[in-house]
A and B are shown apart, each in its own frame.
Chain A
Amino acid sequence: MTYPPNAPASAQGTAPARAGTGVPAQPSVAPAAAPPAAAPPAGPGTWAEVRERLRRAATTEPGRLQILGAVLALLVVAFGTVTAFEVADRASSADDVVSRSQPLSSDAAAIYRSLADADTAAASAFLAGAQEPPDVQKRYADDIATASRLLVKAAAGTEGSAESSREIATLNEQLPRYTGLIERARAANRQGLPLGGAYLRYANGTMTTELLPAAERLYEAETARLSQDDQDARDWPFLSLALGILVLAVLVWAQRRTYARTNRVFNQGLVAATAASVVVLLWLLAAHGVARAGLNEAREHGQDSLRVLTTARISSLKARANENLTLVARGAVLTDDGKNDKYETDYASSMNALVDALAQASELADDDAGRDPLAAAAERTAQWQERHKDARAKDDAGDFEGARLRVVGPKDTTGQSFDQVDAALKRALDHEQSEFTRAAEGGRGALTALPLGAAALGVLGAVGAVLGINRRLSEYR
């Protein structure tokens, strides 16, 4: 049954070869026709020879064993290699989460916060009068320096992300413009000119309509990238799993075959290959499961809380800036419908956003260390609202000075309540940040040794398979 197919193959394979070598011996054949006849068969000839050899090998048991050994070795090595690559990919994504995307996202949040804080500090300093309090001045200067520094860092870290680059460009363009307006506001305020208030409001407008939205978009973009890396790290390595199952199936089949032919239960080499493959497969499942669990925890208990807390902090800063501006503008700017004070209205909406975000953060907080600062923040926010109401009542009654002292005065001010809210939120943020880092690092750690282990075990398994087959093979020699 093997000869009939072989006959035409050998006829095809040998005839041209003979024709090629036999050109001088057969001058009767037209010389022009000989080279084209000789050249094309060269390729198919060797390929055909390989096929021929394989076919011939497959007819004998040693030949079949050789083929089986080669296939097993290849499969096990492929399994080890694919696992190593896929896991290395997940590990690098997990590493990106911990050491790149999350820091970039939290830097973007810090830029956002610094800008909002600078605006708040500028308005507070302005409201204090011609002599700006040095600590508030310093706070403003620090905020601007932090924002500038982090912008440079972010520009280096975003690696050509078009969206982030655009927002960073906007921020870099608008920030000097903003600080210029603030300096003019200060200069005019020092001379006691109401023009200072106009400049401060202009600066605030630039901040709230240009800078803060750009910073928010940057934060969103970086956070989206973090989610992407997180997702990449948690993707199941399906190819590795499928290959692993295939390898085990083939190994089991090979051993069953050996058992059927020799009645020997164990072939040590094949058993070793099977063991190595099982270890890689289990390791893969366990490590990936642990990594996913870690990253899940980081996302649920860290990242989501961080996002809500960042919103809370920004809202508190906006509320504070608007509270100050209500007194700076003194009713000079009304809402679009002309019925209410613009800044007081903006204060109210920021305050609502703060209260909402605090409630949400409390739901997300999963331990006392996370809940305590939030309870403190909520308490101080309530106090702030109380004092604000009092300040408004004073201002509405025509007691501007009384209202001003309630907002930026020496004691029992809304400013102190705000500072306490901010400090509590910072504590909560720090806690959630460390929660995030701990969980995500745990996840990343689970994958650390796997790529190398998978590669080594793959090689080991392949060697086992080859040795096991060779042992059977030697019985034929």
Chain B
Amino acid sequence: MRSGVDGAGMPGRRPDGRARSTRRPLGRLRGWGGVAAMAVACGLTASLTLLPLAHGGRGDSGPPEVTGPGVGTGVHVKADSCENPEASLRPSGADGPSIDAIKARGKLVVGVDQNSFRWGYRNPDKRVIEGFDIDLAKAIAKDILGSEEHIIFRAIPTNQRIAALESGKVDLVVRTMTINCKRIQQVAFSTAYFQAGQQVLAPKGPGITGYDSSLNGKRVCTAEGSTAYEALEKNPFGAVFQDEHDGTKDDKDLLTVPNQLDCLARLQLGEVDAVVTDNALAAGQAAQDPAVELKGEPFTTEYYGVAAKLGNDDLVRRVNQILVQYRQGAWTKAYDKWLKADLPGISGPPAPKYK
């Protein structure tokens, strides 16, 4: 996964969750090669396709083709290989060993992003990290330790998020991290605090209207190995989105780029006509360029959660408890401050789901 930020690299989830899961390992193979990857892919494919059958899942009816924007069904996408990945532990304010450790230390250590505008970004003037994720992290610190000052931000790259939790380098990761079936095996997620989805970003004005036939013949930019790329592979609507030497060292990084933000640079230079990425990150791009906007509706659904080390149940329950409060007003305040201008039309946080 080479994308800098989570959403760009995460498997999106669609109504046909099962088909998605089987495609994923195959998609990842691109450019990796290697027998090990193949073996993992086969194992994953087998387990993921067979699991729903064992559970008598609803996917049996066969994978329907992409049915266009399917946001409305997002809430019902539970027939995944792991059933309800965003269902978390019941909220509780009780202390436990991991909260005791944080209190003994007097500081909450949170792994964050410093590259995602409006989410977690190091403001070069103030030299501080700020954004929607950061506000949530501060709220958690305030609740546990009494002050939002008692927090240490550790900027961690995308590929280090799970390792940082497992090694205890950070207590929590609040970093546009998508909840999915593979990850719930590795880390414990809170309830979802944001619902995102893949969406098209293009210059303002008529022309491109969304993820539809208006993309025909257009040059579309995506991050290498991202959900957006896989979606275009499946249904490109006639868009041009692949580089000649993708996945090799001769890759010129024109249409597929290392990081989703690179797409905005190419859009401004006129080298591409549109960008497909996670709408949360697309909002960060739109915030940097008043001449572009999000088009149409998100065509996938994914949820962001706060991640903790697997087994730190007291901390997860505490975060869920805090989220219950946070959803009451602070969430909307943060949304208005960081996201509303570029990602309008969201009425509130996703409803929590519990096991």
Point out residues on A near B: beta carbons under 8 Å.
Answer: 129-130, 184, 188-189, 192-195, 197-199, 201-202, 205, 209, 329-334, 336-339, 341-342, 395, 397-398, 400-401
Contact = CB atoms under 8 A, between A and B. Distances in A.
A336 B245 CA distance: 13
A127 to B, nearest CB: 10
Contacts of A341: 157
Contacts of B249: 336
Nearest to B225: A338
Contact of A188 (B127, B158, B288): B288
The interface centre, meaning the residue of B116, B153, B157 with most chain A CB atoms within 10 A of its CB, is B157
B159 A195 contact: no
B265 A400 contact: no
5 contacts: A201-B262, A331-B159, A339-B159, A342-B258, A398-B154
A337 to B, nearest CB: 7
B115 A197 contact: yes
A195 B287 CA distance: 10
A197 B114 contact: no
A129 B111 CA distance: 23
B172 interface: no
Interface in B108-122: 109, 111, 114-117, 121-122
A455 B268 CA distance: 70
A225 B249 CA distance: 31
A194 B155 contact: no
A124 to B, nearest CB: 15
Interface string B87-120: 0000000000000000000000101001111000
Contact of A332 (B123, B127, B157, B284): B157
Contacts of A130: 124-125
A178 to B, nearest CB: 13
B124 A199 contact: no
Given A188-B288, A339-B159, A195 B261 contact: yes
A195 B258 contact: no
B160 interface: yes
B240 interface: no
Contacts of B162: none
A244 B254 CA distance: 67
B1 to A, nearest CB: 5
B177 interface: no
Given A129-B124, A334-B2, A338-B1, A197 B261 contact: yes
Interface of B: 1-2, 4-5, 31-32, 109, 111, 114-117, 121-125, 127, 152-160, 225, 249, 252-253, 258-259, 261-262, 264-266, 268, 284-285, 288-289
A192 B5 CA distance: 19
Given A194-B261, A199-B265, A334 B124 contact: no
B34 to A, nearest CB: 9
Contacts of A401: 127
Contact of A195 (B31, B154, B265): B265
A473 B123 CA distance: 105
Contacts, number: 101
Contacts of A209: 252
Nearest to A335: B2
B269 to A, nearest CB: 8
Given A330-B115, A398-B152, A194 B288 contact: yes
Contact of A194 (B1, B115, B125, B157): B115
The interface centre, meaning the residue of A129, A198, A338, A400 with most chain B CB atoms within 10 A of its CB, is A198
A280 B246 CA distance: 67
Given A338-B2, A342-B258, 17 more contacts: A129-B125, A195-B117, A195-B285, A195-B289, A197-B261, A202-B266, A329-B4, A330-B115, A331-B156, A331-B158, A334-B1, A334-B157, A334-B158, A338-B1, A395-B155, A398-B155, A400-B155
A331 B154 contact: no
Contacts of B155: 330-331, 395, 398, 400
Contacts of A205: 253
Contacts of A201: 258-259, 262
Nearest to A200: B265
B157 A192 contact: no
B288 A334 contact: no
A193 B123 CA distance: 8
B265 A333 contact: no
A334 B115 contact: no
A189 B124 contact: yes
The interface centre, meaning the residue of A192, A209, A337, A342 with most chain B CB atoms within 10 A of its CB, is A192
Contacts of A398: 109, 111, 152-156
Contacts of A202: 262, 265-266
B288 A195 contact: yes
A197 B284 CA distance: 14
B114 A198 contact: no
Nearest to B115: A332
Contacts of B253: 205
Contacts of B2: 333-334, 336, 338
Contacts of B266: 202
B161 to A, nearest CB: 10
A338 B259 CA distance: 12
B291 to A, nearest CB: 12
Contacts of A188: 288
B38 to A, nearest CB: 15
Nearest to A332: B4
A401 B128 CA distance: 9
Contacts of A199: 265
Given A129-B124, A202-B265, A337-B32, A193 B156 contact: no
Nearest to B154: A398
Contact of B258 (A184, A330, A332, A400): A332
Nearest to B251: A336
Contacts of A397: 154
B124 A331 contact: no
A195 B264 CA distance: 8
- A-B pairs, 4 with minimum CB distance: A331-B157, A398-B154, A332-B4, A198-B261
A130 B125 CA distance: 7
B117 A193 contact: yes
Contact of A192 (B114, B125, B160): B125
A338 B264 CA distance: 22
A189 to B, nearest CB: 7
Contacts of A330: 114-115, 122, 155, 157
Contacts of B116: 194
The interface centre, meaning the residue of A184, A195, A332 with most chain B CB atoms within 10 A of its CB, is A332
A192 B116 CA distance: 12
Contacts of B288: 188, 193-195
Contacts of B258: 201, 332-334, 342
Nearest to B264: A195
A342 B116 CA distance: 19
Given A184-B268, A397-B154, A334 B159 contact: yes
Nearest to B34: A337
